[in-house]
Structure 1
Amino acid sequence: MRTSRQPRSRLPAAAVVAAVTALSAAPAAAADAHYDRAFMLAADARCGLFAPPVRAALTSATLQARGAQLRGGATAVQAAETARRARARAASTPCDHPELRMVAGRVDQAFAGWLGLRRMEFPGLSAAWSVDRARFEAPRWRLSQTGVTGASSVVVGRVWGQTGLTVAVSFVGKPRPTSARIVMRDPGRFPNPWIGSRPTLAPEAQRRAVWAGATAPADKALFAGGRRGGEIWAFSERAVAELAALDPREAFAVEFVFRDGSVARAAFEVGDLAAAEAFLTLGAV
């Protein structure tokens, strides 16, 4: 990683190449990509380099690079330091610097392809968020991650035409639950990310639960193949924001509570939810 290097004499240019290509798994390369994208984002905030759609795409790419740096072995402190150094460099770079303007033009061109992308995957350690920006009349997922509880399919994400977070479940051979909740680490109780060799839910004493506000029958189109129906459970925008603020390497769970007090749990990965959310702000195509 670049934490021990001296500041580079030239402005970051790797953002131009890394903007539209897959991030390398090498820790140093992931840190470099995060630095370069964070630099351009901070320079844009000072100098107004990009139009809003390109700014949204660059924000998504920067968050994605941060996630890759963390998954590559960096600590949250190291990732924050990478972003801090990038912002400091941007703060000392004149807005009319010729190389900054040249790199900004190339970033503009590189992200032109992003603006027309309908679908994009944001992979994590063991799961991925899928984004679909196509506009649909019928209910379809705009953002989704799929899990299971037992033999039952569970999908969490955003649905076209609805606000907040939606959880859809199609139970096999079970009575219907009476309530549903999202369980995640509570930063107020435990401020440090709960990180294991794979995404693992924080211990019970360090968790908080967000309860669904409403439930309704689910459209079959919300399940793969559309062969079964089920229920949807609605959660607030605040639930989305709280999940996106967690470390990308962490886990969260959706728990369904039944009349007899039993609980069915589906595990999910926070992953690059923040990056996927930023990509969605590009709007429908």
Structure 2
Amino acid sequence: MTSRKTFGVVTARWPGIFASIAILGVSGPSHAATAADQLYERTLMTSADARCRLFKPAVGSALDAARAQARGATLRSGVSQNEVTALEARAHAKAGAASCGSKDLTTAADRVRKAFDGYSTMLRMAYPGDRATWQADRSVSATIAVWRLSQPSSFGRDRLVFGLSGRANDMLAVANFADNAQPYAARLVLRDTLRTQGPYLNARNAKGLAANAAPRNASRVFGAETRDDAPLTLLPTGAKTGLSFRFPREAGDALSRLDPREAATVEFVFTSRSGQDVVRRAYVEVGDFAAGRAFLR
């Protein structure tokens, strides 16, 4: 399991609880109680912000990114999805019962604001998972295609970068094929949260992510909407050519709802000499995709 360390903590008195707002980074042990406490407190404050408009958008988004990261840490610590949902419901109820003008809420908001002012101006952030890392970058360019949230992956001799690119945060799979093969289509396969009761975590300690991908009959399939030659700036490191496939915006929402420990499958479809379809599969760890996506806002 990936370890964590708290870089900075601001503790604010809240009616009946302590609202400890922390920025999580890398290294140091992670405990279920700590992650769950942080999720409760950050959910409470983001809920209060939505109702009372406590923070400027940049600070509110930074707090929401930290909330999403705490949610991922809580699930990775072994807390069930149902328990997480119940915890979040309690936090929303607590925030809804507080007066927007109360002294306690004003004090808590002031301390949150001070804690996240600096965080909201950061341009880059790394989100390590159990096996892979999402790299987030808020910088954008009007002329150069850049990754804003990305995770590299290798599958056989082929390589992939998957994530969000450009001002529109397009969801892309950019692949380089060692044998210069040309797939005619790409598909993103994600667990269907409406048809399943939880993730398929068959072998967390085994090598590779395939064991944590949902079976096809329990998944949603998103076909790529476009296929283009990839810009050099989006290619896997060292690659000179590659193809870029863009997936529907809805796929990003679906990926954000998954458990951080599970895997998404990217399928590339080729036509063989016999005319039959041949599929090559790459796997991406869900990890803190939701937190990185919130960071970009």
TM-score, normalised relative to structure 1: 0.89
Instruction: Return structure 1 stretches of 4+ with deviation > 3 angstroms.
Output: 8-11, 21-24, 224-227
- Report which stretch shifted further, 218-227 or 173-182: 218-227
Is 1:65 aligned to residue 70 of structure 2?
yes
| Structure 1: unaligned runs, 5 residues or longer | 1-7
Partner residue of 2:202? 196
Which has more strand, going by share of residues?
A: 2
Distance of aligned partners of 1:104 and 1:188 in 2 relative to their CA distance in 1, 3 Å threshold = closer
What does 1:49-198 correspond to in 2, within 5 Å? Answer: 49-136=54-141, 137-161=143-167, 163-198=169-204
Is 1:244 aligned to residue 260 of structure 2?
no
**Cα distance in 2 between the residues matched to 1:11 and 1:219:** 50
Partner residue of 1:257? 269
Is 1:274 aligned to residue 277 of structure 2?
no
Partner amino acid for 1:251?
A
Q: Deviations over 1:91-131 (max 9, x none)?
A: 22222222221111011011111121111112222112111
Contact 2:176 2:239 in 1 (8 A): no
Contact 2:35 2:74 in 1 (8 A): yes
Instruction: Give the deviation of 1:209 after TM superposition.
Output: 1.6
Distance of aligned partners of 1:21 and 1:40 in 2 relative to their CA distance in 1, 3 Å threshold = same
- The percentage of aligned residue pairs carrying the same residue is 37
**Cα distance in 1 between the residues matched to 2:246 and 2:176:** 15
Partner residue of 2:9? none
Contact 2:161 2:173 in 1 (8 A): yes
**Cα distance in 1 between the residues matched to 2:187 and 2:237:** 26
Partner residue of 1:5? none
Contact 2:15 2:104 in 1 (8 A): no
DSSP-derived class of the 2:42 partner: helix
Partner residue of 1:28? 33
Instruction: Give the deviation of 1:42 after TM superposition.
Output: 1.5
Instruction: Give the deviation of 1:277 after TM superposition.
Output: 1.2
DSSP-derived class of the 2:64 partner: helix
DSSP-derived class of the 1:40 partner: helix
Question: What RMSD, in angstroms, separates the aligned Cα atoms of the two structures?
Answer: 1.9
Partner amino acid for 1:194?
Y
Is 1:215 aligned to residue 227 of structure 2?
yes
| Structure 2: unaligned runs, 5 residues or longer | 1-13
Partner amino acid for 1:62?
R
Contact 2:170 2:247 in 1 (8 A): yes
DSSP-derived class of the 1:205 partner: helix
DSSP-derived class of the 1:265 partner: strand
**Cα distance in 1 between the residues matched to 2:53 and 2:163:** 32
Partner amino acid for 1:195?
L
**Cα distance in 1 between the residues matched to 2:169 and 2:25:** 30
**Cα distance in 1 between the residues matched to 2:103 and 2:203:** 45
DSSP-derived class of the 1:12 partner: strand
